[in-house]
C-alpha cells in the first residue's frame, strides 16, 4: 500500500427543500430571460404572461425556501401576500403584481370577459419586471446563503 494518504471525496446531500429551491430558481430565471426577450421584441402580451410566470416562480421559490405552503395558484399578488406573512419579503409593487395578474387573464381568449381591457406600457413593464425579478431573486439568494 502506498504511503500517500487517499482522500475520499466528501458527499454533500441536498435536502429536498434545497433541490426544490434550485429547480424553482432555475426555471424562474429561464422564464425571466424569455419574458424579457419577448418584451424587447414587442410581443407585449406574451411577454407579460411569461413575466407573470417568472415572478410566480420567484415567489414560490421564496416561499419554498421559507418552508411556507402556497397551494396551486398563479395569482402573484396572493403569493406576495403569503410571502409577506412569513415576515421576510422584498419590497415589491402590489399594483404592478395586480396589473400582471390582469394581463395574465389574456393567455386564452375564452377566459376574458366581454368588455375587459387593459393598457400596457412596454417601457414601464420592462422596468417593473426587471426590478421585481431582481428584488425577489436577490432576497431568495441572500436567504439561501444564510440558511
Residue ranges for the chain with pLDDT beneath 50: 12-13
Output the pTM of the full model.
0.81
Q: What is the rounded distance in angstroms from the CA atom of residue 94 to the CA atom of residue 4?
A: 61
pLDDT (0 to 100) of residue 82: 94
Q: What is the rounded distance in angstroms from the CA atom of residue 83 to the CA atom of residue 97?
A: 13
Q: What is the rounded distance in angstroms from the CA atom of residue 133 to the CA atom of residue 126?
A: 11
Residue ranges and CATH numbers for the domains of the chain are 16-146 (1.20.120.330)
Spatial CA neighbour of 101 closest among 123, 79, 69, 122: 79
Amino acid at each position: 500500500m502506498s504511503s500517500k494518504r487517499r482522500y475520499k471525496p466528501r458527499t454533500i446531500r441536498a435536502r429536498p427543500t434545497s433541490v426544490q429551491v434550485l429547480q424553482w430558481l432555475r426555471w424562474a430565471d429561464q422564464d425571466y430571460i424569455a419574458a424579457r426577450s419577448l418584451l424587447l421584441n414587442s410581443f407585449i402580451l406574451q411577454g407579460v404572461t411569461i413575466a407573470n410566470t417568472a415572478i410566480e416562480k420567484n415567489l414560490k421559490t421564496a416561499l419554498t425556501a421559507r418552508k411556507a405552503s402556497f397551494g396551486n395558484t398563479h395569482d402573484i399578488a396572493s403569493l406576495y401576500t403569503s410571502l409577506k406573512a412569513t415576515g421576510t419579503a422584498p419590497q415589491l409593487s402590489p399594483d404592478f403584481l395586480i396589473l400582471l395578474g390582469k394581463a395574465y387573464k389574456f393567455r386564452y381568449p375564452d377566459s376574458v370577459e366581454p368588455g375587459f381591457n387593459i393598457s400596457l406600457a412596454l417601457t414601464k413593464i420592462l422596468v417593473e419586471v426587471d426590478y421585481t425579478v431582481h428584488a425577489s431573486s436577490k432576497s431568495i439568494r441572500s436567504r439561501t446563503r444564510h440558511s
